[in-house]
Amino acid sequence: MENSNLLLLSSSRVGSTEYLNHALEMIKTKLNGVTELLFIPYAGVSLSYDEYTAKVQTALNEIGIKVTGIHECDDPVLAVNNAQAVAVGGGNTFHLLHQLYQNELIESIQHKVSTGMPYIGWSAGSNIAGLTIRTTNDMPIIEPKSFNALQLVDFQLNPHYTEHNPAGHNGETREQRLAEFMVLNPSTPIVAIVEGSALDIKQDTMRLTSGLSGPLSQANGFVFKSGNKSVITTEDSLNHLL
């Protein structure tokens, strides 16, 4: 999407780090002077929206950001239209998208992002930035109006990507699940991002970035397309995917 200003994080934590701690510098850079953030907690199911918003506020106190939950606003569409920036948290992707449709927020978020408003997502909040939610890892606990997502980027996302396969586990691996998607959608790219990494998008540029330090900062991600899997690094330009 033209004028996009997105930060799509794989996760809210890395290992035992505090909530969003690894991402604070990335979030601060993306907001670039913005002091108030509209938070969309709709992916929360076992956590109340008030609790979820307070959790994000606590995490972002360190960088001086005031957080308002969209559920506190009488008119959610107007809240998006007036927002300096929007953040969408993780949880259940199906519930998140269902609520976005119920509150008629798809078009308003798309419009605001097209004007250059910063959008920050993690986990489910990153997943819905893609074309559809058909490469989410989540259980379909509720049926949204459509699987079509915000379509802020022209590809699918798979946050929390891992190649871990526990001993004795006989179910499909993440890679096998994404391979199934590729069989039915050979021309649609999937960008898989691992814990601690994010996609940083500014207008027509995109790179993989990391909130980690030292050797761990050189996190790899993957692009799946047409039956092929390719490695992407923090050194690569990913502009061709936009």
Residues classed as catalytic? 123, 138, 160
Angle between helices 49-60 and 24-31 (to 10 degrees): 90
Specify the amino acid at residue 142: I
Query: What six digits make up the tokens of 180?
Result: 């199934």
> Could you identify the residue written with the tokens 């798809």?
106
Nearest residue to 114 via CA among 207, 6, 36: 6
Alpha carbons 123 and 127: distance in angstroms, whole number = 6
CA 20 to chain centre: 13
Alpha carbons 23 and 25: distance in angstroms, whole number = 6
| Alpha helical stretches, state H, the chain | 24-31, 49-60, 76-82, 93-102, 106-114, 124-127, 174-184
Nearest residue to 182 via CA among 120, 228, 142: 228
* Strand-pair partners of 157: 191
